Amino acid sequence: MPHKNAIVRTSSPKLKSISTMLALSVSVYACTSVENAGQAINDAASTASREVQSAASALGTPNTQPSQVPDTRTGLKSGLYDAETAAWNLKLASTTPLPIGFFDPRALWSPTAATPPTAEGEEAAPPPPNPISFANSDLAFSGDRVIMGNFHGFNVYEVYDESNTRPILSVACPGGQGDVSVHGDLVFYSVEQNRARLDCGAGGVEGTSSEERFRGVRIFDISDINDPKQVAAVQTCRGSHTNTLVPHPTDPNIVYIYNSGTSGVRPGTELEGCSSGSPEENADTSLYSIDIIKVPLNAPEKAEIINSPRIFADRETGRIDGLWKGGALGEGAQTTSATVACHDITAYPEYNLAAGACSGNGILIDISDPENPSRIDEISDPNMAFWHSATFTNDASKILFGDEWGGGVAARCTPEDPETWGADIVVDRTENGLEGRGFYKIPNTQTDKENCVTHNGSLIPVPGRDIMVQGFYSGGISIFDFTDSNNPFEIAFFDRGPIADDALYLAGNWAAYWHNGQIFAPEIVRGLDVYQLVASDMLSENEIAAAKLIQYEEANTQTQTKFEWPASPVVAGAYLDQLNRGSAIDNRLATRTASEIARWKDGRPRARRMRSLARDLKTAANNATGRDINRFNQLATVLENAR
């Protein structure tokens, strides 16, 4: 049996040879956003490896600690369902393949693979679906159900236990990218591709302007799991790349959807009021805004856009293009996208805040009036190419912003890539505004056949620490601690080998999210992964048990909810483990505390002694530093409330 901190490296059971699957692959057909991304990869590839290291040197290196064991994520054998895997402090409990109709081997997409030749006299292969037609995207959670978005529609899975997850509903409605949110029986589904039809049909739409085309947010009623219905389809000028659910502060019958559209603007002949152009050319341009959709829950068919606030406006001049105009922030810096839209908006209603990852900037937003949000502050950084995602810490004192350098379809975790590019940046909220601190990225040990960059994730609710689980596409998933903003470090990972050895194919974990004691990760082509944490020197059994106390009936990945831990022996044990790990508590006090926690866990708490112990812990807090001050005080509070 391996040591508890050992990396486990295995090969999955061989289900079908990838060479057999790829023999069906044919050339990539037009899909504007992916084509452009692929062209950008090819254009940049020849110069990137020569220039990025010197640029990174000029910009500084990340304040990160390496994994505490030798890294073995490089050199993993390739395969679709039989790729070799590597794991550290994390166990893959199950992978549920996509249901019938949601996977086509011809849809495995590569920006670099050549078209298989056709032998003389042999019939040409049928044309493939559009690139990434069947890619899995984001998740939402409702009870014991996981809703997984897909470019072809969405699937609902019932989670019976960690190794038994089954699809119970598939809704085919092509159009991507298929990000989902849920509230009650309603599923909100993002659509941005030109092929999407209003009627959810698979035939596509011809022409540049058509009444049959749909780009925006669909609303489905799944109250009858055997008969789901599309009850609303809210058209938007730039489609919907992602959507964020924001509750009304006082009216439980109202929710809002903050819509982030990143595609090209539709012609006004297709949707009235839509137009493109710079502010100088067109004051009414559909760029430089987000959409706010108001949804009455008792009549969702009446959902409509009520506002498109100009949240990027210059505070002094009022110019709507008031943030980053695009380009490099300095010599050797990343070429950063212009801020014309948000990619992701993460709402934290309990703090009346939202964080926007908005192309060229990270922004902080006041949502106390959810119909009229306003920008509080913004930040830029020379290491960031495309501000992509945002996550608050539980106390909202900092924000983790991700950079999707290369658009998720490029190999950006190779030894030639800078450690601060395609990484997360930890941003503190200070009296002086938003201030960038350290960076986090998985070790650059991936191959050039693996699309890899930071992508979506969530907090793991461990009291006393800021811990994130995150997908890195074909870089797998990584769990890291960023409690010290300047020194984030990895504590667990899981990774698979690439799809093939001869070309990069789009695959890997789109995201990874903690929900009710487990980690769920949509794998772009392989299905839905479920993971379990493994106790280690990096994360104790008490810390894992305390995280599992946080349970939600409903959860959306871009709507954060504050964690509130009950007074429990495992919560007390988690704080004590952290103090011991950092040598912040003297042995005598630690022994007393451990003894009282053990009695409490056995059902024999001594209230008087624990109150006395709590006073001593608060005294010790006076001599502590950093996060240990809070750990001492929180441990004391838990003991005072023991029952």
Three-state DSSP state, 267: coil
430: exposed, middle or buried (Cβ count in 10 Å: 0-12, 13-18, 19+): exposed
Average pLDDT, the chain: 89
Q: What is the pLDDT of residue 20?
A: 31
Q: What is the pLDDT of residues 36-68, one digit of tens each?
A: 333 333 333 333 333 333 333 334 444 444 444
Q: What is the pLDDT of residues 79-92, one digit of tens each?
A: 999 999 999 999 99
Give me the residues paired with residue 167 across strands: 157
Q: HSE-up of 422 (CA within 13 Å, CB side)?
A: 26
- Please report, for the chain, the start and end positions of each structural domain, with discontinuous segments joined by +: 569-640
The Cα 376–Cα 71 span in angstroms is 41
Among the listed residues 481, 477, 532, 533, the one whose alpha carbon sits nearest the alpha carbon of residue 510 = 477
Q: What is the pLDDT of residue 115?
A: 61
The Cα 614–Cα 238 span in angstroms is 56
- Helices 627-640/607-621 angle, 10° precision: 160
Three-state DSSP state, 512: coil
And the tokens for 87?
Answer: 């794991």
* pLDDT bracket for residue 106 (50, 70, 90): confident
Q: What is the pLDDT of residue 70?
A: 61
Please indicate, yes or no, whether the overall pTM of this predicted structure exceeds 0.85. yes
Cis, bond preceding 177 (omega within 30 deg of 0): yes
The residue whose two tokens read 């493939």 is 128
Neighbours of 112 (CB within 10 A): 17
Q: Give the residue-averaged pLDDT of 179-203.
A: 96
Q: What is the pLDDT of residues 572-614, one digit of tens each?
A: 999 999 999 999 999 999 999 999 999 999 999 999 999 999 9
SS3 per-residue string spanning 51-64: HHHHHHHHHCCCCC
Q: What is the pLDDT of residue 22?
A: 30
Q: HSE-up of 72 (CA within 13 Å, CB side)?
A: 15
**Is pLDDT above 70 for 523?**
yes
Q: Which residue has the higher pLDDT, 260 or 111?
A: 260
**Is pLDDT above 80 for 311?**
yes
Give me the residues paired with residue 428 across strands: 398, 435
SS3 per-residue string spanning 407-469: CCCCECCCCCCCCCCCCEEEEEEECCEEEEEEEECCCCCCCCCCCECCCEEEEECCCCCCEEE
Which of 130-139, 144-153, 559-568 shows the lowest per-residue confidence on average (mean pLDDT)?
A: 130-139
- Rg, Å, the chain Cα set: 25
Q: What is the pLDDT of residues 409-455, one digit of tens each?
A: 999 999 999 999 999 999 999 999 999 999 999 999 999 999 999 99
The Cα 373–Cα 364 span in angstroms is 10
Q: Give the residue-averaged pLDDT of 1-18.
A: 39
The Cα 446–Cα 415 span in angstroms is 7
* Percent residues over pLDDT 90 in the chain: 82
Q: What is the pLDDT of residue 246?
A: 98
In one-letter notation, the amino acid at residue 336 is: T
User: What percent of the residues of the chain are helix, what percent strand, and what percent coil, each to the nearest 5?
Assistant: 15, 30, 50
The Cα 345–Cα 355 span in angstroms is 6
The Cα 521–Cα 513 span in angstroms is 6
**Is pLDDT above 50 for 225?**
yes
